[in-house]
Amino acid sequence: MHRIKVRVVEDALDANNTIARANREDFDRAGVTVINLMSAPGAGKTALLERALADLGDVRVAVLEGDVEGSLDAERLASLHVPVVQLNTSAGFGGECHLDANMVRSALSALPLAGIDLLIIENVGNLVCPAEFRVGEDVRAMVCSVAEGEDKPLKYPLMFRACELAVVNKIDLIEHTDVDLDRLLANLQTVHPGIEHLICSARTGEGVDALRDWLIDKVAAAREGAGTRAGAGTVTPA
Amino acid sequence: MHELSIAQAIADVAERHAKGRRVVKIEVRVGHLRQVVPESLSFAFALLTPGTALDGCELQITHVPAVGCCRACGARSVLEDFPLRCGRCEGLDLDLIAGEELLVDALELEEEPTTGERVHRGSHV
């Protein structure tokens, strides 16, 4: 036996990114805009979607619901009469704390891609790992609730830097917390200068119209982009 | 906690390149902005590898500082904390040059000697 040294110089997440690009090509071919929605557990992703997806005009939406276990969120969203596909990471994926490109790929055949304009991928609740794994999305967005405290951008900068939108949820609770909203927004800009934000309450409906408009705008922007890049052979995740 | 996912990704890359050969050492370069705790990554790696082709493999982690080039004044700065800011003019508009890597840089593998070597060594036994 002898030892040899082999130079590799490969991104550890290359395998995931390759599958993410394949997903993205399938989404683009079907003309579907994909949002990867992330947050800590309990920040209110599902509650916001229940509100925001109820009236998206002519935008046809489906949800890919990622959870470690169970289908509680999928059942909640099914009452909106939009297609919902449940992806459990405990079923064959080792109970992963995030979705990766391969898990999303495994669910593609269950999604009615030809009949939708917008796919929301509701990631597993976790402020860390989901930020590492592209799944083929156009846009990454996150929800942070005021109940989590104003310091979360500073503690989890990887997630806040990965997303182009932060939805500050549960604003109706702010008077019951010690959170200073201005400081929370300043912390957001500290880790990600220029990040968009929306102030919402899934409970009262405050700010949900703006979230709905943001989603509709993303679909419109993707349609315009598809017009200008018609015939493009390769598409890389943003 | 993301160290477990990253350790698995590193192990997958190493196993793919090793093609059945025993991996003695994996050298990885981890950028400052990836927020990987080296001790946690080593711990996760040690949890994942027993009983696999990487059993007993050493994981060598090199920390890569974050470096930004200021779009306003052109200065290069090492970026320690948020906000990421130019060390000369304090500008926030920076091109990140380093600090976001998560690279499997090199592998040390154990290989069967070629036939010629085997004969050569055999003659000395």
Q: What is the pLDDT of residues B33-66, one digit of tens each?
A: 998 999 999 999 999 999 888 999 999 999 999 9
Residue in this structure with the two tokens 């099914």, named with its chain if needed: A78
The answer to whether residue A69 is domain-embedded is: yes
For residue B1, is pLDDT > 80?
A: no
pLDDT of residue A227: 66
List the domain range (segments joined by +) for residue A160. Answer: 15-224
pLDDT of residue A229: 54
**What is the Cα–Cα distance from B79 to B93, expressed in whole angstroms?**
13
Say whether residue B110 is in contact with chain A using an 8 A CB cutoff: yes
**Option in B17, B82, B102 nearest A191 (CB):** B82
For chain A, the domain total comes to 1
pTM of the model: 0.88
User: Which parts of chain A register pLDDT below 50?
Assistant: 230-238
Q: CATH number of B2-65+99-112: 3.30.2320.50, 3.80.30.10, 3.40.50.1000, 3.40.50.150?
A: 3.30.2320.50
Contact assignment for A9 to B103 by CB distance below 8 Å: yes
Contact assignment for A1 to B83 by CB distance below 8 Å: no
**Option in B2, B13, B108 nearest A3 (CB):** B108
CB A172 within 8 A of CB A146: no
pLDDT of residue A231: 45
CA angle B16, B19, B24 (to 5 degrees): 90
Residue B114: pLDDT band with limits 50, 70, 90: low
Identify the CATH number of the domain in which residue A61 sits.
3.40.50.300
Which residues fall within 8 angstroms of residue B59, CB to CB, at 6 or more apart?
B7, B10, B25, B26, B28, B41, B42, B45
Alpha-carbon dihedral sign for residues A173, A181, A38, A223? positive
